[in-house]
Amino acid sequence: MKILVCGAGISGTALAFWLSKQTHQHTITVLERFPTLRTSGLQIDLRGPGIQVLRRMGLERAFREKAVAEQGLQVVDKRGRRWGYFPANRSGKGLQSFTTEFEIMRGDLCGLLFEACGGQTVNQIGVRFVFGVYVVRVTQVEGGVEVVFSDGKRGLFDLVVGADGLGSRMRRMMFGVEGEGEDANPGYHSLGAYAGYCTIRQDMRAGEGYDATAFITTGARGIMTRRHEPERYQAYVFCESSASKRLGNASKGDIEEEKIALAEVFRGAGWESDSILQGLVQSDDFYCERIGVIKLDNWSQGRIALLGDAAYGPSAMTGMGTSCAMAGAYILAGEIGKGSSEGDITTALKNYEQKMRPFIDQVQKGLTDDDNYMGRFPTSSFGITLVYCLVWVASIMRLDILARWVLREDTKDWELPEYPDMDGSS
């Protein structure tokens, strides 16, 4: 088959990896609109099925060589007092803690998968990466998809996969939706929250270590810091979308306005918020996300399919975005392999959804039950104090309530399928 994958992020590159491992000699083109491999982004992790897929790829050792050495998570109040500490679960058993055994910077995982596909060199099975180009039009024809690219070239493919993120252009084209923004983003559901991300240059202090630190305060606001290297740390700031009219009016991508608005939201919040927000304003890698979930009735039409965040982005609130992307790539490739044998790609895409959807439904369960996900969290001083007391009790009893309360790692009785045709460990 001749396959086009739009997006050289985690899901798209993982899909190319698995397709290249099949006995069928596919020709795979991975398209990335950015001029180079995008190695930006902060810390991500793998949980449950994501870890299983990594191991089946045979990349666990390479992953661990690049892993972030985060030790655990501490929770502090506005005076900097620690109320609880939750170490990483390194037993190899049960659910992960907030910090997993498999923490890595997003760029390092993208690079690892890219190199596993042969990097810039077309390998003997035909994986090719094309940068600085994107799809401007797709037309489904008998037996394939006609594609027009941004450089004016055209191509005919047996299958087109959109793995191009939360704001997927391919999703818009698949559903025939024109325009930009949330109103022209099929399947997008806002969770009523903003998140600002950046790295801040500051040398590690004596005795600091590699612990994540979480600070929550009134008004559905919170800050988390994580250190991945001695010279700088990561900062994450979260707030309810109603916290700032200025932030709500800021255009997506207006970085300076978004920075100033977030700084105003957190001014005087306590702990180290003022210095963190000063570092955020001065940072050169800031990104502001309107947190949302993608929920669709179907992930494919004809010979066009969606993968990862483009199909079922669960949001940062679940801690499962990367694991969903990895599991989805593995299952989609497995079903494509079976479909290639049977000559029926549309059935393969339906089977991909049938096997993957119960997992995604569990991860996304309840996220879109109302329009204000952040409204479920305590906002008053009394409510925040109660949370800190619960954290203290849970820490003493070694119960990782934060991970169980917020994250969606528990997939109940869903199991990752196996595909004998694919072997990434060889």
Residue 230 lies in a domain: yes
How many separate domains does the chain show?
A: 2
| Statement to judge: residues 177 and 200 lie in one domain | no
Q: Residue 82 has which token pair?
A: 């620690």
| Statement to judge: residues 27 and 169 lie in one domain | yes
Give 368's DSSP letter.
T
| Statement to judge: residues 175 and 120 lie in one domain | yes
pTM of the model as a whole:
0.93
Tell me the pLDDT band of 179, cut-offs 50, 70 and 90: low
Write out the residue range of the structural domain in which residue 19 sits: 2-67+105-187+295-364
Tell me, what's the pLDDT at 426?
Answer: 47
| Statement to judge: residues 288 and 299 lie in one domain | no
Residue 179 forms beta bridges with which residues? none
Residue 391 lies in a domain: yes
Q: Residue 94 has which token pair?
A: 């049960």
| Statement to judge: residues 302 and 281 lie in one domain | no
d(CA 77, CA 272): 10
Residue 161 forms beta bridges with which residues? 5, 305
The CATH number that applies at residue 137 is 3.50.50.60
Q: Are 9 and 110 in contact (CB under 8 A)?
A: yes
Per the document, the length of the chain is: 426
| Statement to judge: residues 11 and 123 lie in one domain | yes
| Statement to judge: residues 285 and 392 lie in one domain | yes
How would DSSP label each residue in 344-357?
A: -HHHHHHHHHHHHH
Tell me, what's the pLDDT at 361?
Answer: 95
| Statement to judge: residues 167 and 111 lie in one domain | yes
Residue 271 lies in a domain: yes
| Statement to judge: residues 48 and 18 lie in one domain | yes
Tell me, what's the pLDDT at 342?
Answer: 53
Tell me, what's the pLDDT at 161?
Answer: 98
Residue 425 lies in a domain: no
d(CA 159, CA 145): 7
d(CA 75, CA 66): 26
The CATH number that applies at residue 249 is 3.30.9
**H or E element, residue 179:** none
Tell me, what's the pLDDT at 264?
Answer: 92
Lowest mean pLDDT among 249-263, 316-330, 387-401: 387-401
pLDDT over 70 at 401, yes or no: no
Residue 75 lies in a domain: no
Residue 159 forms beta bridges with which residues? 3
Count other C-beta atoms under 10 Å from residue 298's C-beta: 15
Q: Give the pLDDT confidence of 100-121 residue by residue, as tens digits.
A: 899 999 999 999 999 999 876 5
| Statement to judge: residues 383 and 397 lie in one domain | yes
